[in-house]
Structure 1
Amino acid sequence: MTALRPERESGADWYPAGAYDAPWEPRTAPYDPHGSGTPYPPPDGSGEPSVADDAETMALRIPSPSAPPDSAGTAAHGSHGRREAPPATGGRAARRRAAKRRRGRRAAGSGPRVPQQTAPRDPSAPLSRVEARRLARARRPSPGVIASRIIGELFITTGVVMLLFVTYQLWWSNVRAHQQAGHEAHQLQDDWASGKRAPGTFEPGQGFAILHIPKLDVVVPIAEGTDKTKVLDKGMVGHYGPGSFDTAMPDAKTGNFGLAGHRNTHGEPFRYINRLTPGDPIVVETQDTYYVYKMTSMLPVTSPSNTAVLDPIPAGSGFTKPGRYITLTTCTPEFTSKYRLIVWGKMVEERPRSKGKPDALVD
């Protein structure tokens, strides 16, 4: 019984008298562990109370010496803790079926294989020969990568070349042409001052006059011929001289003085002649005389084969009788040579150099 009991007097024996005098005898009374007064047989059916079911001994249990703690696990699971199936009984066919069932349970219980994870490699450790070869193969670019690199380099090279060409055409050719034209103009003036050049017939590419267009701030030498390399690309203006286009010189009593020049690149002296309006002065300076023209008309677009614009009485200019005319020709639209732009003028003054510059240049 686990109920509290009152203490006995000091020095008195706690247990009742004669508790240890008589030998112990097993209890044969009906099993009544809870003291309810209604006995009933023990659960094991032996008629005696079971030690395992005694309320006084529920706290601790001492295993039976005949059954070691791991004997049940060893018997059920084998020597390695695995549960062994009971030996198959019956014939050979039954044993085979039992073996197949065991293999099926092992396969089902094993589950998917998990790849074994290896520890990360130390970067400072030296590579083996196999690892070095493998790393070299991994670093080697594929043919597709090599081809794409080559194509990309070709595109880059082509772009750089085109950029350099455009820079040369739009900037450097102008710088170089201005230097050459300026040198030729100074050389002409020095020769006129020293008397080295006399009026007459000029060789192709030889400078003989200077063209002034005050409104456009143009001062450029005039050379004989319209050769692209010898004249126009050097930043000068070319005279349609003897040959296919035999236009007059400024000192002729009648005729058409025809000139050609670049509109873009190589000095581009005629780039803005489309801005001229009727009455704007155009001056041709020679060794002895200033010839002053006034702009009269313009033909914005015409075919390059329209040579009639250089006739003594230019077609389309509005002139109807012989006179002293000037014709300026250049390409149009800008940066192309598909068509030609034509500007005409009529001489209004002939002034000797000894009398000084004309008013068109003084203003």
Structure 2
Amino acid sequence: MGRVRVVQHSGLRRRALRRRVLWGGGEVFVTVGVVLLLLVVHQMWWTNREARQGAAREVRALERAWDGAGGGSLADVPATTAEPAPSRGAGGSTDPSAGTRRRPAAETSPEPDWSRAYAILTVPRLHLRVPVAEGVGKTGVLNKGYVGHYPGTQQPGQAGNFALAGHRNTHGEPFRYINRLVREDTVQVETRSATYTYAVDRILSQTAAHDGGVIRPIPRSTVKPGHGYTEPGSYLTLTTCTPEYTSKYRLVVWGKLVSMRPR
């Protein structure tokens, strides 16, 4: 007679347990992978879609409001708390970079309306047209796809530094490609009463996130002192994070005011 095979139930239970553990682990990994994929899709696609649509609506709303108002004073431009630029009241009213053009009068207004945009930034080379709002907070400004104005810096057309920040990735990423700007590219800032045109003049490809010198009235890096300016003027500063998908450093683009056209 042949031998009768004896099956150990404990061995069967161990194999069944291993199969359940492996199967359960696989399900967990698949679930985690799907969740991570959805998070990436949300950050990389959905936030861009929502922010761009919202920013475009705000641009259209500003255009309609300005067209209906027929120009006039800049009552909607937030007041600035920046210290006066050294050139104010001392350098006359002629902008050196604009020939004999008269520099627009300094713009003052009541307390800013923190809930809405007040200007439009246009960068032809990048096919970019986005609203500008007061402040650089993520929730209230940057995550809406807007460009944010650094509180304490000057307003469009004023002597000093009109400094802006924008996301480079996600939430509309308006400043994703500002590294492609080159000298003499134009950047326009439209307000209720005028359009200010700046010409790109200098680019600082990387500096520390805490480099506050780049947004001073006379912008000059405190981390890389060879980059920036030493003379008063009417400047535009664009800042964003670099490298892409990180916030470790800052990329800075500077421009000078070259013209002002009333609406």
TM-score higher than 0.5: yes
Larger radius of gyration: 1
1:162-196 residue CA offsets vs partner (Å, 9 max, x unmatched): 00011111111111011110111111111112229
Greater strand content? 2
- Tell me what 1:314 maps to: 219
Q: Is the 8 A contact 2:214 2:228 kept in 1?
A: no
1:226-276 residue CA offsets vs partner (Å, 9 max, x unmatched): 1101110110000002xxxx0000132x11000000001111100010011
Equivalence map 1:174-323=2 (5 Å): 174-195=48-69, 198-201=75-78, 202-241=112-151, 246-252=152-158, 254-316=159-221, 317-323=227-233
**Cα separation, partners in 2 of 1:144 and 1:185, compared to 1, 3 Å:** same
**Cα separation, partners in 2 of 1:182 and 1:164, compared to 1, 3 Å:** same
In 2: Cα distance, 1:199 partner to 1:143 partner: 69
Q: Aligned with 1:296: secondary structure?
A: strand
- Tell me what 1:166 maps to: 40
In 2: Cα distance, 1:213 partner to 1:314 partner: 21
In 2: Cα distance, 1:162 partner to 1:200 partner: 42
Alignment RMSD: 2.1
Q: Is the 8 A contact 1:205 1:225 kept in 2?
A: no
Q: Is the 8 A contact 2:157 2:257 kept in 1?
A: no
Query: TM-score scaled to structure 1, two decimals?
Result: 0.57
Instruction: Check if 1:154 corresponds to 2:28.
Output: yes
In 2: Cα distance, 1:239 partner to 1:311 partner: 13
1:273-305 residue CA offsets vs partner (Å, 9 max, x unmatched): 001111000100111101000001111111111
Q: Is the 8 A contact 2:220 2:230 kept in 1?
A: no
1:136-170 residue CA offsets vs partner (Å, 9 max, x unmatched): xx799722211111111111000000000111111
- Higher RCO, 1 vs 2 (CA within 8 Å, ≥6 residues apart): 2
User: How much has 1:115 moved relative to structure 2?
Assistant: 5.8
In 2: Cα distance, 1:247 partner to 1:274 partner: 22
Q: Is the 8 A contact 2:123 2:188 kept in 1?
A: yes
In 2: Cα distance, 1:219 partner to 1:342 partner: 19
Q: Is the 8 A contact 1:205 1:227 kept in 2?
A: no
User: How much has 1:199 moved relative to structure 2?
Assistant: 3.7
Using the aligned pairs only, state the percent identity: 49
Equivalence map 1:1-363=2 (5 Å): 113-114=1-2, 142-195=16-69, 198-201=75-78, 202-241=112-151, 246-252=152-158, 254-316=159-221, 317-353=227-263
Letter in 1 for 2:218: I
Q: Aligned with 2:161: secondary structure?
A: strand
Letter in 1 for 2:178: I
Uncovered stretches (5+) of structure 1, i.e. residues with no partner: 1-112, 117-137, 354-363
